[in-house]
């Protein structure tokens, strides 16, 4: 199984170090690479630090494509893992809503020295909002508190309270005392922590379950062109399966067409699955970038109103404001029709009902009025259930679709 993990937690609590450790201990990184990095580290006369190790990966990845999230793969004896590290808080919000949001599990990293901090709470709020229900807690830097059980229990209690305030059931959440730096309780059982009898982090991750539900076709149109008299639509299957011969309805343009052929890099396909980027040959005109294709059984529906929950990255957002909404490849005008609730993104607490405006760091449930656009419940089809709000070319907020 392929499991997507996102690491969250306050700055400096050890997320990058933990990823480095997972990669290293899983032996997913070539030995030469490790040696090379170790040598460099010696040169700089610094201790071999895993965060440093990860940074050099970041550079490698950035050459290939522009990314602001670092996703890395490793495998255990049981699963393949894609693990995502998120840098700062604002980047985190954007990333959670554009890349990392289909995470199956979130690992919350909390320093045993510092315990719960502001960003610990904000990140948990987003994890909840994004519907990631499996959360593991890694109480990190246990080496720095001499592996003391009392310190672990104190921090565990603190985190449990926060988790409960976000209505996570804490009974089933594993709390694992770890040292990312020393590699304790990540792959191998922790030295100095004989008092701990629970799972190691990798054992916990290997138990992650995901139910695969059959989902309707959603083919997101990116581009169109004509070649040798054929109409080709380029896009990505974000959900379901697209087969040759299917009759597909594209919305909001309302175009109907049979899929004459499917191609990837010049070769012909019979079908394309979720995650595939393909070109399809159709026989009707009218499809546009921003359209979403689906079949008659469960077609995509263009909406002019929906309820979303968003987090604001800008100073202020007012009722009645007009913005650009980006969802999938669609870019449409929208209006803040009503603000239903203003929410504290550190506690999840509702601060105000039907306010006229919200401020930076606030979360809010908002009724949007938009030009026709296909959006879906985030819980059903995450790729079409998250959106970014843009004002004068700047992203000022991001959110998920709660109801349509």
CB closer to Mg ion out of 16 and 257: 16
Contacts of 206 (CB under 8 A, 6+ apart): 76, 77, 78, 79
Coil vs helix vs strand at 110: strand
Would you state the structure tokens that stand for residue 40, as one six-digit string?
A: 């460099």
The number of beta carbons lying within 10 Å of the beta carbon of residue 189 is: 14
How far from chain centre, in Å, is Cα 225? 31
Site for ligand GTP in 75-94 (CB under 6 A): 87
x/- binding map, residues 49-68, to ligand GTP, per CB under 6 A? Answer: x-x-----------------
14 binds ligand GTP (CB under 6 A): yes
Would you state the structure tokens that stand for residue 388, as one six-digit string?
A: 């970014």
Would you state the structure tokens that stand for residue 396, as one six-digit string?
A: 């000022």
CB closer to ligand GTP out of 89 and 319: 89
190 secondary structure, DSSP code: P
CB closer to ligand GTP out of 87 and 192: 87
CB closer to ligand GTP out of 139 and 381: 139
Helices (H) and strands (E) in the chain, counts: 7, 24
CB closer to Mg ion out of 16 and 255: 16
Q: Which of Mg ion, ligand GTP, none does 367 bind, CB closer than 5 to 8 A by kind? A: none
Residue of 278, 282, 236 lying closest to 257 (CA atoms) = 282
Q: Which of Mg ion, ligand GTP, none does 140 bind, CB closer than 5 to 8 A by kind? A: ligand GTP
Would you state the structure tokens that stand for residue 190, as one six-digit string?
A: 């922790």
Q: Which of ligand GTP, Mg ion, none does 180 bind, CB closer than 5 to 8 A by kind? A: ligand GTP
115 binds ligand GTP (CB under 6 A): no
16 binds Mg ion (CB under 5 A): yes
- Beta carbon of residue 17, minimum distance to ligand GTP (angstroms, whole number): 3
Is 78 in contact with 203 (CB distance < 8 Å)? Answer: no
Alpha carbons within 13 angstroms on the beta-carbon side of residue 363 total 22
User: Which span sits near Mg ion by CB under 5 A: 8-16, 36-44, 145-153, 168-176?
Assistant: 8-16
180 binds ligand GTP (CB under 6 A): yes
- Beta carbon of residue 89, minimum distance to Mg ion (angstroms, whole number): 12
Residue of 91, 69, 81 lying closest to 4 (CA atoms) = 81
Residue 65 CA to residue 190 CA, distance in Å, equals 38
- Residue count, binding to Mg ion (CB under 5 A): 2
Peptide bond into 386 cis (omega under 30): no
CB closer to ligand GTP out of 142 and 162: 142
16 binds ligand GTP (CB under 6 A): yes
Residue of 173, 139, 136 lying closest to 154 (CA atoms) = 139
- Beta carbon of residue 40, minimum distance to ligand GTP (angstroms, whole number): 16
Residues that bind ligand GTP (CB under 6 A): 9, 11-17, 49, 51, 87, 140-141, 143-144, 179-181
Residues that bind Mg ion (CB under 5 A): 15-16
């Amino acid at each position: 199984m392929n499991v997507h993990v996102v690491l969250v937690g306050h700055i400096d609590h050890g997320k990058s170090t933990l990823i480095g450790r997972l990669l290293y201990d899983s032996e997913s990184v070539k030995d030469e690479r490790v040696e090379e990095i170790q040598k460099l580290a010696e040169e700089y006369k610094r201790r071999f630090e895993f965060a440093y190790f990860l940074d050099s990966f970041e550079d490698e990845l950035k050459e290939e494509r522009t990314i602001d999230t670092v996703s890395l793969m490793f495998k255990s004896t049981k699963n393949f893992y894609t693990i995502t590290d998120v840098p700062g808080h604002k980047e985190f919000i954007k990333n959670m809503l554009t890349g990392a949001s289909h995470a199956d599990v979130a690992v919350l990293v909390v320093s045993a020295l510092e315990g719960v901090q502001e960003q610990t709470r904000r990140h948990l709020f987003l994890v909840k909002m994004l519907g990631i229900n499996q959360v593991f807690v890694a109480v990190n830097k246990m080496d720095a508190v001499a592996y003391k059980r009392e310190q672990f229990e104190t921090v565990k209690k603190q985190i449990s309270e926060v988790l409960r305030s976000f209505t996570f059931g804490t009974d089933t959440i594993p709390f694992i005392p770890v040292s990312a730096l020393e590699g304790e309780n990540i792959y191998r059982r922790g030295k100095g922590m004989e008092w701990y009898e629970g799972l190691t982090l990798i054992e916990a991750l290997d138990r992650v379950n995901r139910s695969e539900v059959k989902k309707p076709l959603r083919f997101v149109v990116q581009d169109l062109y004509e070649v040798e008299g054929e109409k080709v639509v380029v896009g990505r299957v974000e959900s379901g399966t697209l087969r040759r011969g299917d009759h597909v309805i594209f919305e909001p343009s309302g175009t109907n067409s049979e899929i004459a052929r499917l191609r990837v890099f010049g070769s012909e396909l019979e079908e394309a699955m979720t995650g595939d980027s393909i070109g399809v040959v159709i026989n009707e005109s009218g499809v546009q970038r921003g359209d979403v294709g689906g079949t008659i059984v469960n077609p995509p529906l263009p909406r002019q109103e929906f309820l979303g929950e968003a987090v604001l990255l800008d100073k202020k957002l007012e009722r009645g404001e007009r913005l650009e909404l980006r969802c999938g490849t669609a870019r449409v005008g929208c209006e803040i029709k009503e603000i239903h609730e203003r929410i504290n993104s550190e506690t999840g607490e509702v601060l105000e009902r039907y306010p006229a405006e919200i401020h930076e760091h606030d979360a809010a449930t908002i009724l949007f009025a938009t030009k026709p656009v296909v959006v879906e419940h985030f819980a059903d089809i995450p790729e079409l259930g998250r959106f970014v709000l843009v004002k004068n070319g700047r992203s000022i907020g991001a959110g998920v679709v709660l109801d349509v």
